[in-house]
A and B are shown apart, each in its own frame.
Chain A
């Protein structure tokens, strides 16, 4: 048969395709030669040479769809809370207590353990003035770090790249997501996408069903990855990227160049390292495992971005929300354990966020509608563990249109992470100064 010459041809095509061969006509010849010689060098050479290998790292986890903050960090035994949520409230006994009045959702055992170990900070009631309840607009506000009535073509992480990482490799930011997060949009585009096992030859794990059999034999059939029925209409939110002043064609040419270098580089770094602990089989768990390998493999990346969809729990939220939180908590716990084993826990911080929290009062479908402020988590070896900010008041007079008011502006969290963890000045990135939190050191 013709299989062996064909295979050879295939390999040639692959090289032409991914790395650019002699026929490539979009890249200047000198650059092309440079690329090829780089590829020819020994595995480690490319990565080792880049500075910043030992710098601090931020991992951002987006909980897309609007996570129900009040059922994540529970105001334990609070009257207003119990009254507003007769069907879905987490009752006192099951919450994992952080202090006498505050507890975590019972599915967050992984985070509770991190809290006990001193690796988890909870920032209460994070939000911004005049909250917008549209998924897309509010996600955009968080991504661009602008005031509610302003807009920006660049994201806060993109401005960090522009300000602090001029001349860095494109892989200074890596998103494990379907599309480039809007937060990465920069004047000079940076950041690459990495999708799990691409190019590594591994097999993609297909969604596994998670079944819960109720006492009467009825079933809940939903996907473990949380994009399933629980997720409602919001799976992933990416949002527009910015191409600066480039035309689409220029943008494509630049992306092609980044792809040639970074895909190879990432695959090599990922192959160099192994995970020290087992991870959950969920997509989120596997993505965290991949990030841990990239960190261990010596990537010069400063920002990793992951996303978990499915938090838009308008309907029957109890089981769905529990599953999402369990998936998240277990994945984060494995990640922290892995970093600890690697000896990298001290230089990595994880920050979660969601575009908004949900309304205090449950709705008639056993779910919750779009709300405003909500807690977020910071995790890692360098965080100052504990509760930051105040548990929000749930008194009617203190609510904003039925929603929790913010105490901490989300840009204070960004500013703290930028200054205390990534070691850069935050005002040029965020447009002005925001009060810092005591969440580090």
Chain B
């Protein structure tokens, strides 16, 4: 049996650690609640019910848009005289791209809101893990609907069986496009998906052969994307995004040899065979443990985790609970080893401050600058995580953005590193209309006054600067009047809130207190104090 932490060993520090690692952190009150209930109940509370309740999708993402209409617009383009084609094609591309960016931004903002919601946070944390594990990027899969559906797949199946989830991913349209599975057919196999399925998703290097990849690619042949067709009706490519299609005439029905077994295997067989390999439970439990604790399990612990995984038949929700109630999860030797990802940092900081998240376009560009552009992982391996989040450039940016969030950005002329025109486009504050693709003989009425691109950009930047500005964090509500008058007490209260009870050495506490008089502290001084706590290396680890 897997070891569990006894209730007698449960304390407030562990509750705080669990809240940060399993979810996105929170307020002292939330930590108190978890601390009062024992490890198993705390894990259950965070996990929430197994069934996913109703999910209201972001409002515009599911509407048909320019992405679907592109191929029809391109046909129209071809009818134009050659001299007009290039400029119109450019305009069309800009408009399509802008619409996609706006919708991707909407999904990112919607997702961040869910992460910041206490009742959803743990599930969304798992979705974030799965997004990195089954990394798929909008850079290649441009269609926002497909990326939203994949994200939703993680949410729906994330608490269920691993086998179902992997199968769902193998049939996911975004994944089929990202790893070229959609082109894989008998006689023209494409190995890209089969390779990453073994190397990154289920087994790890060294646990399969090149032959296993080649023959598995053949087994997946025919799993592709296309448009569903109702009997008697043509495919509606203009208004619907592509979905998973199993094309029978692309199947490769010949015998394959995979993991030492022979048969006329199909894609479902490959997933089954891969997950029955000895390496399978080790690979996924290792990755989950590392994601949630920041360190790699070895020896006995690794064996214990893999065994529990097999015992649970790859059921993910109870496995998360088993990890979170394991004594080693709270190993004090590794208390400073887990680096917060940019997303955890942003959501956690806003939650602790009791303020809203920055506007979606600003939030997602901040995360991109910090190395975690949601829906656009750098490659199929996802984010490496851990200390790779931190380098001289990203750490300086984290500190800079920290001051934006704590002190606000109002009055700032520039947001360093941010392209305000981009932010305006992604926020829908600047429209990029598609070109008019009419019969060239139709007279076009010119607008009375042409506005130059430069003016449009300036106007967009001005709008973005004012409408997306971050307000100073409402720090006044974090402390009561008594605490305001007592710097020592104030420091304790704020340290508890932001560093979850991290023991601060006395000399540092003294240093923090220097320069504060005896009168009640102003909001500005409180912000300075908070910045001193959160613009620090120790704030970046959990």
Residues of A within 8 A of B (CB): 1-4, 6-7, 9-10, 13-14, 16-18, 22-26, 64, 132-137, 170, 178-180, 192-195, 197-199, 201, 203-204, 206, 209, 211, 213, 216-219, 221, 223, 227-229, 231-241, 243, 247-249, 251-253, 255-256, 258-259, 262-263, 309, 314-315, 363-365, 369, 401
CB interface residues, B 275-311, toward A, < 8 Å: 294
> In the assembly, what is the distance between CA of A199 and CA of B369, in Å?
13
> In the assembly, what is the distance between CA of A336 and CA of B179, in Å?
37
Nearest chain B residue, comparing its CB with the CB of A135? B379
Q: Are B336 and A193 touching (Cβ within 8 A)? A: no
> In the assembly, what is the distance between CA of A206 and CA of B336, in Å?
37
Can you list 12 A-B pairs with a CB-CB distance of less than 8 A? Answer: A4-B411, A9-B407, A24-B536, A193-B393, A217-B79, A217-B85, A219-B77, A233-B140, A263-B393, A263-B396, A363-B190, A365-B190
Binary per-residue interface labels of chain B (180-212) against chain A in the complex, 1 for a CB within 8 Å, 0 otherwise: 100100011111100110011000010000100
What's the nearest-Cβ distance from chain A to residue B418, in Å? 8
> In the assembly, what is the distance between CA of A134 and CA of B384, in Å?
16
Nearest chain B residue, comparing its CB with the CB of A203? B419
Partner of B180 from the list A137, A235, A236, A315 (CB cut-off 8 Å) is A315
Q: Which of B82, B93, B294 has the most CB of A within 10 A?
A: B93
Q: Which residues of B lie under 8 Å from residue A262 when comparing CB positions?
A: 392
Whether A247 contacts B336 in the complex (CB less than 8 A), given A9-B524, A213-B85, A233-B192, comes out as: yes
CB interface residues, B 509-542, toward A, < 8 Å: 511-512, 514-515, 524, 528-529, 531-532, 535-538, 540-541
Q: Are A213 and B86 touching (Cβ within 8 A)? A: yes
Partner of B537 from the list A3, A17, A256 (CB cut-off 8 Å) is A256
What band does the interface of chain B fall in when counting residues whose beta carbon is under 8 Å from A? 35 or more
Partner of B139 from the list A206, A231, A259, A363 (CB cut-off 8 Å) is A231
Q: From B113-121, B345-353, B398-406, give the one contacting chain A.
A: B398-406
What's the nearest-Cβ distance from chain B to residue A29, in Å? 8
Q: Are A248 and B336 touching (Cβ within 8 A)? A: yes
Binary per-residue interface labels of chain B (495-519) against chain A in the complex, 1 for a CB within 8 Å, 0 otherwise: 0000000000000100110110000
Q: Which residues of B lie under 8 Å from residue A132 when comparing CB positions?
A: 205
Nearest chain A residue, comparing its CB with the CB of B422? A206
Check: B378 CB closer than 8 A to any chain A CB: yes
What's the nearest-Cβ distance from chain A to residue B530, in Å? 10
Partner of A204 from the list B394, B417, B537 (CB cut-off 8 Å) is B417
Q: Are B86 and A255 touching (Cβ within 8 A)? A: no
Residues of B within 8 A of A (CB): 74, 77-80, 82, 85-86, 89-90, 93-94, 96-97, 135, 137, 139-140, 142, 178-180, 183, 187-192, 195-196, 199-200, 205, 210, 294, 336-339, 369, 371, 378-381, 384, 386-388, 390-397, 399-400, 402-403, 407-408, 410-412, 414, 416-419, 422, 508, 511-512, 514-515, 524, 528-529, 531-532, 535-538, 540-541
Q: Are B89 and A213 touching (Cβ within 8 A)? A: yes
> In the assembly, what is the distance between CA of A249 and CA of B538, in Å?
6
Nearest chain B residue, comparing its CB with the CB of A364? B188
Q: Are B411 and A10 touching (Cβ within 8 A)? A: yes
Q: Which residues of A lie under 8 Å from residue B196 when comparing CB positions?
A: 233
Nearest chain B residue, comparing its CB with the CB of A246? B387
Q: Are A252 and B535 touching (Cβ within 8 A)? A: no
Whether A229 contacts B140 in the complex (CB less than 8 A), given A23-B512, A236-B378, comes out as: yes
Q: Which residues of B lie under 8 Å from residue A234 when comparing CB positions?
A: 379-380
Q: Are B540 and A252 touching (Cβ within 8 A)? A: yes
Q: Which residues of A lie under 8 Å from residue B422 when comparing CB positions?
A: 206
> In the assembly, what is the distance between CA of A415 and CA of B371, in Å?
33
Q: Are A23 and B192 touching (Cβ within 8 A)? A: no
Q: Are B384 and A240 touching (Cβ within 8 A)? A: yes
Q: Which residues of A lie under 8 Å from residue B524 when comparing CB positions?
A: 9
Q: Binding site of A, secondary structure by majority: helix, strand, loop or mixed?
A: loop
> In the assembly, what is the distance between CA of A363 and CA of B511, in Å?
66
Q: Are B391 and A221 touching (Cβ within 8 A)? A: no
Q: Are B192 and A232 touching (Cβ within 8 A)? A: yes
> In the assembly, what is the distance between CA of A228 and CA of B196, in Å?
20
Q: Are A134 and B537 touching (Cβ within 8 A)? A: no
Q: Which residues of A lie under 8 Å from residue B400 when comparing CB positions?
A: 14, 17-18
Q: Which residues of A lie under 8 Å from residue B512 when comparing CB positions?
A: 23, 25
Q: Are B403 and A259 touching (Cβ within 8 A)? A: no
Q: Told that A234-B380, A248-B294, A309-B379 touch, could you supply 10 new A-B pairs with CB distance under 8 A?
A: A1-B411, A10-B407, A17-B400, A23-B528, A179-B371, A193-B394, A235-B137, A249-B538, A255-B392, A259-B396
Q: Which residues of B lie under 8 Å from residue A137 when comparing CB positions?
A: 205
Whether A363 contacts B188 in the complex (CB less than 8 A), given A240-B388, A248-B387, comes out as: yes
Nearest chain B residue, comparing its CB with the CB of A232? B140
Whether A133 contacts B388 in the complex (CB less than 8 A), given A259-B396, A364-B187, comes out as: no
Whether A13 contacts B407 in the complex (CB less than 8 A), given A233-B140, A259-B392, comes out as: yes
What's the nearest-Cβ distance from chain A to residue B468, in Å? 16
Nearest chain A residue, comparing its CB with the CB of B419? A204
> In the assembly, what is the distance between CA of A401 and CA of B209, in Å?
13
Q: Are A248 and B140 touching (Cβ within 8 A)? A: no
Q: Which residues of B lie under 8 Å from residue A26 when comparing CB positions?
A: 536-538
Partner of A221 from the list B93, B418, B538 (CB cut-off 8 Å) is B93
Q: Which residues of A lie under 8 Å from residue B537 when comparing CB positions?
A: 26, 249, 252-253, 255-256
Q: Are B137 and A248 touching (Cβ within 8 A)? A: no
What's the nearest-Cβ distance from chain B to residue A79, in Å? 24
Q: Are B531 and A16 touching (Cβ within 8 A)? A: yes
> In the assembly, what is the distance between CA of A6 and CA of B527, in Å?
13
> In the assembly, what is the distance between CA of A204 and CA of B417, in Å?
7
Q: Which of A25, A170, A232 has the most CB of B within 10 A?
A: A25
Partner of A17 from the list B369, B419, B535 (CB cut-off 8 Å) is B535
Q: Which residues of A lie under 8 Å from residue B369 when comparing CB positions?
A: 195
What's the nearest-Cβ distance from chain B to residue A258, in Å? 5
What's the nearest-Cβ distance from chain B to residue A120, in Å? 29
Q: Are A13 and B531 touching (Cβ within 8 A)? A: yes
Nearest chain B residue, comparing its CB with the CB of A10? B412
Q: Are A248 and B339 touching (Cβ within 8 A)? A: yes
> In the assembly, what is the distance between CA of A24 and CA of B135, in Å?
37
What's the nearest-Cβ distance from chain B to residue A239, in Å? 7
> In the assembly, what is the distance between CA of A26 and CA of B541, in Å?
14
Partner of B541 from the list A231, A237, A249 (CB cut-off 8 Å) is A249
What's the nearest-Cβ distance from chain B to residue A151, in Å? 11
Q: Are A6 and B410 touching (Cβ within 8 A)? A: yes
What's the nearest-Cβ distance from chain A to residue B393, in Å? 4
Q: Are A23 and B532 touching (Cβ within 8 A)? A: yes
Q: Are B535 and A243 touching (Cβ within 8 A)? A: no
Q: Which residues of B lie under 8 Å from residue A218 when comparing CB positions?
A: 74, 78
Whether A219 contacts B395 in the complex (CB less than 8 A), given A23-B512, A228-B139, A235-B137, comes out as: no
Q: Are B140 and A252 touching (Cβ within 8 A)? A: no
Q: Are B388 and A314 touching (Cβ within 8 A)? A: no
What's the nearest-Cβ distance from chain B to residue A224, in Å? 12
Whether A25 contacts B192 in the complex (CB less than 8 A), given A252-B541, A255-B391, comes out as: no
Q: Are B180 and A192 touching (Cβ within 8 A)? A: no
> In the assembly, what is the distance between CA of A251 and CA of B540, in Å?
11
Q: Which residues of A lie under 8 Å from residue B419 when comparing CB positions?
A: 203-204, 206
What's the nearest-Cβ distance from chain B to residue A210, in Å? 10
Q: Are B139 and A227 touching (Cβ within 8 A)? A: yes
Q: Are A251 and B387 touching (Cβ within 8 A)? A: yes
Q: Which residues of A lie under 8 Å from residue B403 when comparing CB positions?
A: 10, 13-14, 16-17
Q: Which residues of B lie under 8 Å from residue A213 when comparing CB positions?
A: 85-86, 89
What's the nearest-Cβ distance from chain B to residue A308, in Å? 13
> In the assembly, what is the distance between CA of A229 and CA of B100, in Å?
14
What's the nearest-Cβ distance from chain A to residue B82, in Å? 8
What's the nearest-Cβ distance from chain A to residue B346, in Å? 16
Q: Which residues of B lie under 8 Å from residue A223 when comparing CB positions?
A: 139
Q: Are A369 and B191 touching (Cβ within 8 A)? A: yes
Q: Which residues of B lie under 8 Å from residue A24 when comparing CB positions?
A: 532, 535-536
> In the assembly, what is the distance between CA of A256 and CA of B195, in Å?
39
Whether A178 contacts B378 in the complex (CB less than 8 A), given A240-B388, A253-B537, A363-B188, comes out as: yes
Q: Are B412 and A7 touching (Cβ within 8 A)? A: yes
Q: Which residues of B lie under 8 Å from residue A263 when comparing CB positions?
A: 392-393, 396
